[in-house]
Amino acid sequence: MIYHVTSNTDWQNALQQGFYEHRSLTAEGFIHASKKEQVKGVLDRYYKNQADLLLLHIDETKLTAVLKYELVPSVSEEFPHIHGALNLDAVVATTTI
């Protein structure tokens, strides 16, 4: 299981479109994701004091896009990166943050 933080608004748009694309896919070529133990650090670093957030629980075995674990030098850890649109059936649960 991997995880992705998004806004409720972006998730609702994805449900209407039939797939999810984060702006990082265009800007960086992938959608950022995290392992369970990395989620708190991601929230603390990038989403402090933001409301309307959801945590997507993603079954990586259901992904149709390529998943790569890549080193993020600023934190010296490998993070899962989804190289393509996220198919909605790979999202097995959502949690309000």
Residue pLDDT, tens place only, 52-88 = 999 999 999 999 999 999 998 888 899 999 999 999 9
**pLDDT tens digits, one per residue of 82-94:** 999 999 999 999 9
Residue ranges of domains in the chain: 2-96
Q: What does the alpha-carbon distance between residue 32 and residue 13 come to, in Å, rounded to a whole number?
A: 18
Per-residue model confidence (pLDDT) at position 74: 84
Q: Which helix (H) or strand (E) segment is 7 a member of?
A: strand 2-7
Reading the block at residue 36, the tokens are 């369970």
Q: What SS3 state is found at 78?
A: strand
CATH T-level assignment (fold) for domain 2-96: ADP-ribosylation fold (3.20.170)
- Answer yes or no: is pLDDT of 20 > 90: yes
